[in-house]
Amino acid sequence: MPRGPGADGAGCHGAGCHGAGCHGAGCYGAGVAPPLPIRRGMVARRYQDLVVWQLADELKQKVYELIETSLAKSDFQFRDQLRASAASAPTNLAEGFAYYRHGEFARHVRIARSEIVETHNHLGDGVQRGYWSLQRAMPLRHLANRARGAATGLLEHLLTTEAPSDWPGERKRR
């Protein structure tokens, strides 16, 4: 995989990397695995199959770990805001997936994408408050960028395609 210099000096991986100061949707960041390959035409059967949900859930877990190992755990308001934004993205993706219809799902993807951006912002705020270093925040911010990019891609798909009509939960009217 190509490697660029990356904003954190440790190197950035992936086709979407833009080099120094990379914040692109395809940027994988140092120490962050690329998304699972999905073949064209594959159908997600569970919300856990969605790459965007996997990325958002990984971000949530890493945010929880960062909070617990930093001074932020004592700033209750900041801690709770960061936890809430990190937890909201995978929750909204799971809920939207359950609606099945693209319009309803797209609404929840937009909310999830906004929560991912809010988490990204809070991670930078934590650096400014002195709760963690930029080096600790950068891999999580890269992960947030990847999740945002995946959410944007899913949203584009939902807005340009129709949901399959053969959903097993849909009863045919007689």
Class of domain 45-160: mainly alpha
pLDDT at position 164 is: 77
How would you write the chain as a 3-class SS string? CCEECCCCCCCEECCCCCCCCCCCCCCCCCCCCCCCCCCCCCCCCCHHHCHHHHHHHHHHHHHHHHHHCCHHHHCHHHHHHHHHHHHHHHHHHHHHHHHCCHHHHHHHHHHHHHHHHHHHHHHHHHHHCCCCCHHHHHHHHHHHHHHHHHHHHHHHHHHHCCCCCCCCCCCCCC
Q: How confident is the model at residue 171 (pLDDT cuts 50, 70, 90)?
A: low
Give percent of the chain above pLDDT 90: 65
Per-residue pLDDT band at 169 (split at 50, 70, 90)? low
Ranges of each domain in the chain: 45-160
Per-residue pLDDT tens digits for 30-52: 333 333 334 455 678 899 999 99
User: In this prediction, what percent of the chain has a pLDDT beyond 70?
Assistant: 71
The predicted pLDDT at position 26 comes to: 42
Average confidence (pLDDT) over 14-38: 39
Q: What is the pLDDT of residues 70-117, one digit of tens each?
A: 999 999 999 999 999 999 999 999 999 999 899 999 999 999 999 999
| Residues 64/111/153/140 CA torsion (nearest 10 deg) | -20
- Report yes or no: 148 and 25 within 8 Å, Cβ to Cβ: yes
How far, in Å, CA of 19 to CA of 7, rounded?
Answer: 8
CB atoms within 10 A of CB 71: 14
Q: Is the pLDDT of residue 4 over 60?
A: no
